[in-house]
Amino acid sequence: MNLILLHTEADGTLSKLSLETLAATIALGAPFSVGIVGENTASAADSIATCGAGKFLTITGPEFGQARYATDAAAAEALIRAVGPDLVTTPATSRWNRVLPGVAHRIGGKVDSHVTGLVMADGKPQATRWFYRQRMEAVFSRSTRPWLLALEGGIAAAWTGAAGTANAEAVSLTVPVSRTSVIGFEAPAADQQTIRPDADLLFVTGAGWTKKQSDGLVKTAEAETLILDFLRLSRSSLGSTKSLVDLGGEGVAVLPFLSHMNQVGQTGSTPRHAKGLSTCCHGEEPHTVGWRFIGERRAISLDANCGWSRGKADILYVADAFAVMEKVNVLLGR
Binding ligand FAD (rule: CB under 6 A), the pick from 46, 229, 320, 326 is 320
- Sheet with 56-60, side-by-side order of all strands: 124-131, 110-121, 147-151, 87-91, 2-7, 32-38, 56-60, 169-170
* Chain residues 120-139 in contact with other proteins, contact rule CB under 8 A: 121, 126, 130-139
> Which residues 47-86 are close enough to bind other proteins by CB under 8 A?
67-70, 73
DSSP string, 248-306: HHTT----TT--GGGBBSTTSB---EEEEEEES----HHHHGGGTTEEEEEEEES-TTS
Interface with other proteins in residues 216-275 (CB under 8 A): 234, 236, 246, 249-250, 260-263, 266-267, 275
Reduced to 3 states, what is the DSSP secondary structure of residue 114?
strand
| Contacts to ligand FAD from residues 226-245, by CB under 6 A | 241-244
User: Is residue 312 a contact point for ligand FAD (CB under 6 A)?
Assistant: no
Does 224 participate in binding ligand FAD (rule CB under 6 A)?
no
CA distance linking residue 274 with residue 196, whole number of Å: 13
Residues 33-52 that bind ligand FAD (CB under 6 A): none
Distance (Å, whole) CA 297 – CA 122? 36
Q: Are 34 and 55 in contact (CB under 8 A)?
A: yes
Q: Which of 2, 321, 328, 329 binds ligand FAD (CB under 6 A)?
A: 321
104 binds, among ligand FAD, other proteins, none (CB under 5 to 8 A by kind): other proteins
Q: Is 294 in the site for ligand FAD (CB under 6 A)?
A: no
Question: Does residue number 186 form part of the binding site for other proteins (CB under 8 A)?
Answer: yes
Supply the minimum distance, in Å, between the C-beta of residue 286 and ligand FAD. Answer: 3
According to DSSP H, which parts of 87-130 are helical?
A: 94-106
Answer yes or no: are the C-beta atoms of 150 and 97 closer than 8 Å. Answer: yes
Q: How far is the CB of 194 from other proteins (least distance, A)?
A: 7
Query: Rule CB under 6 A: is residue 208 a binding residue for ligand FAD?
Result: yes
Q: Which residues of this protein are in contact with ligand FAD, per CB under 6 A? A: 206-208, 211, 213, 241-244, 263-268, 280-282, 284, 286-287, 290, 300-303, 306, 320-322
